[in-house]
Amino acid sequence: MLTVYNTLTRQKEAFNPIDPNNVRMYVCGMTVYDYCHLGHARVMVVFDMVARWLRQSGYPLTYVRNITDIDDKIIARAAQNGESIGELTARFIQAMDEDAAALGVQKPNEEPKATEYVAQMIAMIERLIANGKAYAADNGDVYYAVREFAAYGQLSGKSLDDLRAGERVEVDGFKRDPLDFVLWKAAKAGEPAWESPWGNGRPGWHIECSAMGEEMFGQAFDIHGGGADLQFPHHENEIAQSCGASGVCNHSHDDLAGKHTQSHVKYWMHNGFIRVDNEKMSKSLGNFFTIREVLKKYDAEIVRFFILRAHYRSPLNYSDAHLDDAKGALTRLYTTLKNTPPADVAITADSNEYTQRFFAAMNDDFGTVEAMAVLFELAAEVNKTNDAQLAGVLKALANVLGLLERDAVAFLQGDLHDTDGLSSEAIDALIAQRQAARAAKNWAESDRIRDELTAAGIILEDAAGVTTWRRQ
């Protein structure tokens, strides 16, 4: 049985969806004002892996990943660029889709945009006010009254008193409590605005996901995911909003300490941070990498492999050395499939000992580290036996993770990164020249051509009178 680590209860729990015939997963997506970075790549790849495994396990899944297309950063960037908000967000949504596709991320079933659900956000804020959980301030803003939600802090493990003691933000004179957060922002000159009962304005960030999640799935659903940075305050605020608006929390749990928790979501999942030299990746530290920058140097499947070879909840340390290591490891798997073309096989958990262990690993909170180890053990066995059926199992298991989906020769020969840019045609021509030199017993010329190709990052493999090649 699949178990999932629930951030809310801080323990692994058996996965028992509300409706096994309609599993629902909502993941917080990107704010589209810039190119996606490696942190976004991890969110996209991790929850793509989760979606793939749920479907592999027989669950009919509806996967929703939202798009934030209105917020302070978007407004500021559009003004800075001298373009409309719509032009800015459309451009970066397209870039996001291109990056996701390169990484082998399958499209979610739905990608709601915040600007398309403002009416639902206004309706939810009205319910929060009616339920005594929110209030309209004299400046036209609407705030959530944090102290009116007794369970606030349960997801992050923070108490209200601790939060208040650590409050560093200048107190807003219109708030009743410094911890209260904005649900609706009064309109400012030159900014987009919508009509509301409290005057023209726009929604706060947190209310967006509560309203879109409810519109997509109703007042309760199975999985809510996102990066660890969203655990507080974004997801903490979502619980407060959604439970406060519905009047009930549909799922109650006891955590490891026996403390009772409540949420509109049954399982909260968060992937770990990306780190660079063991420090969190951030623009302020100057160690910030966009997906596009990384893909200039490394094949996208190598990046996907690099992300999945770590457990999704663990920190992931980025470096060229780690990407180079991932490249070598993935190359070994593809080389196995090149040398032993795989048979077309269907897999089940009980197909053989390798599938049993792979399925057991994935069912233990999506244990890709152990699942990857199974792939390499299987590859070693294929290399010894040249068993096409086992090669087929290797490919089928890897495909579940969105790996080894390409033709092996195409992968091994198709990556121009880290070479001098020799095309396949140029390489084939040099190999033909080398073969002619060998036929003429001109060993010096043959060695010169091999050395030239080696310097260009091309590995030659001579076997049974045939020369094949791959890129390093």
**Residue 418 reports pLDDT greater than 50:** no
**Residue 170 reports pLDDT greater than 60:** no
pLDDT digits (tens, 9 = 90+) for 358-416: 999 999 999 999 999 999 999 999 999 999 999 999 999 999 999 999 999 999 987 55
Q: What is the CA angle 295-301-306, rounded to 5?
A: 90
What average pLDDT does the segment 424-448 reach? 88
Please state which of the ranges 160-164, 271-275, 439-443 shows the lowest mean pLDDT.
160-164
Higher pLDDT, 258 or 349: 349
How far is Cα 169 from Cα 179, in angstroms, rounded to an integer?
9
pLDDT band at 420 (very low <50, low <70, confident <90, very high): low
Place of tokens 């160690």: 287
Is 59 within 8 Å of 19 (Cβ atoms)?
no
Task: Locate 333 and state its tokens.
Answer: 């798997």
pLDDT digits (tens, 9 = 90+) for 142-158: 999 999 999 999 999 98
pLDDT of 27 reads 98
* Cβ density class 70-95: b for 16+ within 10 Å, e for less: bbeebbebbeeeeeebeebbeebbeb
Task: Locate 319 and state its tokens.
Answer: 């470096």
pLDDT of 41 reads 97
What average pLDDT does the segment 25-48 reach? 97
Please state which of the ranges 44-53, 64-73, 269-278, 345-354 shows the lowest mean pLDDT.
269-278
Longest dimension (CA), the chain: 92
Could you please report the per-residue DSSP string of 192-252?
A: --B--TT-SEEE-HHHHHHHHHHHHH-S-EEEEEEEGGGIIIIIHHHHHHHHHHHSS-SEE
Angle between helix axes 236-246 and 118-130 (nearest 10 degrees) is 70
209 carries a ligand binding annotation = yes
Is 69 within 8 Å of 129 (Cβ atoms)?
no
How far is Cα 340 from Cα 346, in angstroms, rounded to an integer?
18
**Residue 176 reports pLDDT greater than 90:** yes
Higher pLDDT, 137 or 459: 137
Higher pLDDT, 453 or 26: 26
Task: Locate 332 and state its tokens.
Answer: 């070994």
**Residue 227 reports pLDDT greater than 80:** yes
How far is Cα 402 from Cα 48, in angstroms, rounded to an integer?
9
How far is Cα 25 from Cα 12, in angstroms, rounded to an integer?
18
Beta bridge partners of 463: 466
Q: For 107, phi and psi rounded to 5 degrees?
A: -65, 135
Q: Exposed, middle or buried by CB within 10 Å (0-12, 13-18, 19+), for 320?
A: exposed
Taking all residues of the chain, what is their mean pLDDT, rounded to a whole number? 92
Distances (CA, A) of 99 to 126, 178, 215, 412, 443: 38, 39, 28, 21, 46
DSSP code for 133: S
How far is Cα 352 from Cα 365, in angstroms, rounded to an integer?
22
DSSP code for 68: B
What average pLDDT does the segment 173-194 reach? 94
Number of H helices, E strands in the chain: 16, 17
Closest CA relative to residue 274, chosen from 323, 235, 320, 228: 228
The β-bridge relationship of strands 316-318 and 274-276 is parallel
At the top level of CATH, which class does the domain 320-410 belong to? mainly alpha
What average pLDDT does the segment 233-250 reach? 91
Could you please report the per-residue DSSP string of 400-422?
A: HTT-S-S-HHHHHHH--TTS---
238 carries a ligand binding annotation = yes
How many whole angstroms from its chain centre is CA 395? 23
**Cα dihedral 154, 156, 158, 163 sign:** negative
283 carries a ligand binding annotation = yes
Task: Provide CB contacts within 8 A for 51, sequence distance 6+.
Answer: 25, 61, 63, 106, 108
How many whole angstroms from its chain centre is CA 10? 21
Q: Exposed, middle or buried by CB within 10 Å (0-12, 13-18, 19+), for 14?
A: exposed
At the top level of CATH, which class does the domain 3-274 belong to? alpha beta
**Residue 8 reports pLDDT greater than 50:** yes
Higher pLDDT, 253 or 454: 454
What average pLDDT does the segment 66-85 reach? 96
**Residue 257 reports pLDDT greater than 80:** no
SS3 of 370, please? Answer: helix
pLDDT band at 93 (very low <50, low <70, confident <90, very high): very high
Domain boundaries, the chain: 3-274, 320-410, 419-471
Is 22 within 8 Å of 60 (Cβ atoms)?
yes
pLDDT of 419 reads 46
